[in-house]
Chains A and B, each alone.
Chain A
């Protein structure tokens, strides 16, 4: 069964500190892995997308890693800011053979991050 599991479920850190969020997946066949940031009451916003051949991708203070062998990904946030308080969602795209939609997205439940002053 295709699954995406994230840890921790929630995290509280102080402003300026670094943190790492984890994502483990059992999705086959794998197409790509995405990290989204979702602010409270808003739609998800894409942070990174990584294909099978990419093992790291940065977007400002966000750095995602991918180990396709162990089926693990992490999202590292450097020098956290109050505006980083949000839910971070790992999404894995599986190749699907339904006509017209050859990708299926499996969404994790997210890690809720709170950055305190």
Chain B
């Protein structure tokens, strides 16, 4: 199993540009998540999905959009990039919550908006 894979690993965007961060998992997990991690800060939940066709907002959803057309894929879309979106983005997946809902993380995408 490859686990959770993310592309790209690095990206530099100009203000106002758009891009999609890709995330794929091969563990047949229903739950998938997008987090951002700013320097010296804890992970913040952007969006999550409990299954194909179902998504919901996390703590910091503004400026982002997601879709979940398949169990495997959970792309994150930035429509109008802003410097405040400079961060490291992690995708994760898990079984449904219930005692031992361990989350498996991808390697991250380091995004810089200038």
Q: Which of A46, A100, A102, A110 contacts B102 (CB 8 A)?
A: A46
CB distance from B87 to the nearest CB of A (A): 14
**Interface status of A51 (Cβ within 8 A of chain B):** yes
**Interface status of B41 (Cβ within 8 A of chain A):** yes
Q: Which of A30-89 contact B (CB under 8 A)?
A: 31-32, 34, 41-46, 49, 51, 89
Cβ contact within 8 Å between B101 and A43: no
Interface centre among B44, B54, B99 (most CB of A within 10 A): B99
CB distance from B36 to the nearest CB of A (A): 11
Q: Which of B49-69 contact A (CB under 8 A)?
A: 50, 54, 56
Cβ contact within 8 Å between A101 and B42: no
Give the chain A neighbours of B100 by CB distance below 8 A: 32, 49, 51
Cβ contact within 8 Å between A51 and B108: no
Q: How many positions in chain B have a CB within 8 Å of any CB in the partner chain?
A: 24
Q: How many positions in chain A have a CB within 8 Å of any CB in the partner chain?
A: 24
Give the chain A neighbours of B107 by CB distance below 8 A: 41-43
- Number of A-B contacts defined by CB within 8 Å: 54
Give the chain A neighbours of B92 by CB distance below 8 A: 43
Cβ contact within 8 Å between A102 and B97: yes
Give the chain A neighbours of B104 by CB distance below 8 A: 46
Q: Which of A43, A51, A100, A109 contacts B99 (CB 8 A)?
A: A51
Chain A interface residues toward B at CB < 8 A: 4, 31-32, 34, 41-46, 49, 51, 89, 93, 98, 100-103, 105, 107-110
> Can you list 30 A-B pairs with a CB-CB distance of less than 8 A?
A4-B42, A31-B99, A34-B102, A41-B108, A43-B4, A43-B90, A43-B92, A43-B105, A43-B106, A43-B108, A44-B43, A44-B103, A46-B102, A49-B100, A51-B100, A89-B42, A93-B101, A98-B56, A100-B50, A100-B54, A101-B56, A103-B101, A105-B45, A107-B42, A107-B43, A107-B44, A109-B40, A109-B41, A109-B42, A110-B42
Known A-B contacts: A46-B104, A105-B103. Give 16 more (CB < 8 A).
A31-B99, A34-B102, A41-B107, A42-B108, A43-B90, A43-B105, A43-B108, A44-B43, A51-B99, A89-B43, A100-B50, A100-B54, A100-B56, A101-B50, A109-B40, A109-B42
